[in-house]
């Protein structure tokens, strides 16, 4: 079968990591009789440079017409120093927000799994990570602060900027259902994270999540305030199964979660909605500080491709194979710089991609 993938390399390290991920896709296709055809789509800074906007209508339509989307990352300012003088709706990241909204991808799944092999790269004490951990951040992706009204004004010579955080119950209910469904297939625990001691939007969030929980009596629901959650993630990550939270809290907590797995270069991400069409990308950004140096860890992107096979194409065996190949390469001691520890073999982006491809048989 042929699968149509809209490929968005984006900016910074984006093209480097996407290249490694497509090598893995092509090899798994070859082994299992699937073909993947790629249509390259401009988004982010590179799109601004070539078209004047971070995502054209045509680019969005190409993504809509595909079976799934693979993204590297957007943003940064390598070589294009003018991006950040543009208004927010014309900056590189606006393209990402627009494609998430345009494809109605409101459910963002970010699995935080500590590979046994990477315990040496995890900053937590041994007793905290004994037995490893495996939880998922389920982040609402098309509402909240990043999509609320915003404006900047000057009143009486004083500059003022406003952002708004709004959720309605429909948005909360549909993401909560995703979290409970996923928990049902895992360890049957949802921890809903909010700031209900202060925010109205969080109070509504908490109430609606409780209503949804009634349909899932086999799943245990707890609530946690976001500041406490930020602390608990480093104190005792093993307590979590599914963390359900709103857009900005999920953005921040998932970066934090990545670090307890060893590196942001390990955290995959799938953005889904009501159809099989999903957007798969690493959780990190365009890392301008290491772009073009063959230093980026491609594993988060390759793990995202495994999620694509599983969620968009129902290719479970192939997804398992990719994950096993990554594990095997780590077992053999190969590391990119971000997960390097004593006695291991340092490799670059391309070499890590090749090693994973070679493990696939």
Ligand X SMILES: NC(=O)C1=CN([C@@H]2O[C@H](COP(=O)(O)OP(=O)(O)OC[C@H]3O[C@@H](n4cnc5c(N)ncnc54)[C@H](O)[C@@H]3O)[C@@H](O)[C@H]2O)C=CC1
Q: Are strands 158-163 and 189-194 parallel, antiparallel or unpaired?
A: unpaired
Q: Which is nearer to ligand X, 103 or 196 (CB)?
A: 103
Taking Cα atoms as reference points, which of 63, 54, 48 lies closest to residue 7?
A: 63
Burial of 169 (0-12, 13-18, 19+ CB in 10 A): middle
**Cα 255 from chain centroid (whole Å):** 9
Near ligand X by CB under 6 A: residue from 6, 46, 69, 93: 93
Distance in Å, CB of 145 to Mg ion, minimum: 13
CB of residue 9 vs ligand COI: minimum separation in angstroms?
Answer: 16
Angle between the 200-213 and 169-185 helix axes, to the nearest 10 degrees?
Answer: 50
Active site residue 280: no
Q: 194 among the known binding-site residues?
A: no
Tell me the Cα Rg of the chain: 20
What residue number has its CB nearest to ligand COI? 93
Q: Is 25 in contact with 305 (CB distance < 8 Å)? A: yes
Binds 42: which of Mg ion, ligand X, ligand COI, none (CB < 5-8 Å by kind): none
Whether 168 is catalytic: no
Residue from 117, 251, 338, 359 binding Mg ion (CB under 5 A): 251
Residues 304 and 257: their CA atoms lie apart, in Å, by 16
Q: Which of 98, 338, 359, 360 binds ligand X (CB under 6 A)?
A: 338
From the list 27, 67, 106, 195, the catalytic residue is 195
Q: Which one of 144, 237, 285, 353 is in contact with ligand X (CB under 6 A)?
A: 285
Nearest CB to ligand COI, comparing residues 93 and 359? 93
Please give the residues from 246 up to 275 whose contact with ligand X meets the rule CB under 6 A.
264-265
Q: How far is the CB of 95 from ligand X (least distance, A)?
A: 9
Q: Confirm or reject binding of residue 95 to ligand X (CB under 6 A).
A: no
Sites of contact with ligand COI (CB under 6 A): 93, 96, 146, 251, 283
Whose Cβ is closer to Mg ion: residue 140's or residue 251's?
251
Is 296 annotated among the ligand-binding residues?
yes
Is 49 annotated as ligand-binding?
Answer: no
Annotation says 116 is catalytic:
no
- Smallest distance, Mg ion to C-beta of residue 198, A: 22
DSSP 68-137: EEEEEE----SS-TTGGGS-GGGSHHHHHHHHHHHTT--EEEEEEE--GGGGGG--S-HHHHTT--EEEE
Q: Write out the two tokens for 53.
A: 């906007």
Choose the contact partner of 146 out of ligand X, Mg ion, ligand COI, none; CB within 5 to 8 A by kind.
ligand COI
Catalytic residue among 11, 251, 280, 334: 251
What is the DSSP pairing of strand 68-73 with strand 279-280? parallel
Q: Is 12 annotated as a binding residue?
A: no
Residues 202 and 227 sit within 8 Å (Cβ to Cβ):
no
- The answer on whether 227 is annotated among ligand-binding residues is yes
Total interface residues for ligand X by CB under 6 A: 20
Q: Is 255 annotated as a binding residue?
A: yes
Q: Is 112 annotated as a binding residue?
A: no
Instruction: Look up 4 and say whether it is catalytic.
Output: no
Distance separating alpha carbons of residues 71 and 269, to the nearest angstrom: 10
**CB-wise, 312 or 349, nearer to ligand X?**
349
From 116, 168, 227, 236, active-site residue? 227
> Is 67 labeled as catalytic in the residue annotation?
no
Q: Read out DSSP for 232-259?
A: HHHH-GGG-SEEEE-HHHHHHHHHHHHH
Q: How far is CA 210 from CA 170, 173, 191, 192, 320, in A?
A: 14, 10, 11, 9, 34
Determine the angle formed by the axes of helices 14-32 and 299-311, rounding to 10 degrees.
50
Q: Which of 91, 169, 142 is nearest to 248 (CA)?
A: 142
Residue 1 beta carbon to ligand COI: minimum distance, rounded to whole angstroms: 30
Give the residue numbers of the binding site for substrate: 100, 110, 139, 227
Give the residue numbers of the binding site for NAD(+): 285-297
Give the residue numbers of the binding site for Mg(2+): 227, 251, 255
């Amino acid at each position: 079968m042929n699968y149509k993938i809209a490929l968005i390399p984006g900016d910074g390290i984006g093209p480097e990591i996407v290249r490694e991920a497509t090598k893995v896709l092509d090899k798994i296709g070859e082994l299992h009789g699937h073909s993947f055809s790629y249509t390259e789509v401009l988004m982010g800074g590179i799109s601004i440079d070539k078209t004047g906007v971070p995502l054209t209508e045509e680019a969005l339509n190409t993504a809509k017409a595909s079976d799934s989307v693979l993204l590297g990352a957007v943003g940064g300012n390598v070589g294009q120093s003018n991006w950040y003088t543009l208004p927010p709706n014309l900056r590189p990241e606006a393209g990402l927000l627009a494609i998430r909204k345009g494809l109605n991808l409101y459910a963002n799944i970010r699995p935080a799994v500590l590979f046994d092999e990477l315990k040496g790269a995890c900053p937590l004490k041994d007793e905290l990570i004994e037995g490893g951990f495996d939880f998922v951040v389920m982040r609402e992706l098309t509402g909240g602060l990043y999509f609320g009204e915003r404006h900047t004004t000057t009143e009486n010579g004083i500059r003022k900027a406003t952002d708004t955080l709004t959720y309605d119950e429909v948005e909360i209910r549909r993401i909560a259902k995703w979290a409970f469904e996923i928990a049902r297939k895992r360890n049957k625990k949802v921890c809903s994270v909010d700031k209900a001691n202060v925010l109205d939007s969080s109070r509504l969030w908490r109430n609606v999540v409780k209503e949804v929980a009634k349909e899932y009596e086999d799943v245990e629901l707890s609530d946690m305030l976001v500041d406490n959650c930020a602390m608990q993630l480093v104190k005792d990550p093993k307590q979590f199964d599914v963390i359900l939270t709103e857009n900005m809290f999920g953005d921040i907590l998932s970066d934090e979660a990545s670090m307890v797995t060893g590196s942001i270069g390990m955290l995959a991400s799938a953005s889904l909605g009501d159809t099989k069409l999903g957007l798969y990308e690493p959780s990190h950004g365009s890392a301008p500080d290491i772009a073009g140096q063959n230093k980026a860890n491609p594993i988060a992107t390759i793990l995202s491709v495994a999620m694509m096979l599983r969620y968009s194409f129902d290719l479970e065996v192939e997804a398992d194979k990719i994950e096993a190949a990554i594990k095997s390469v780590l077992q053999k001691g190969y590391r990119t710089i971000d997960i390097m520890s004593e006695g291991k073999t340092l490799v670059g982006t391309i070499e890590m991609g090749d090693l994973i491809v070679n493990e696939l048989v």
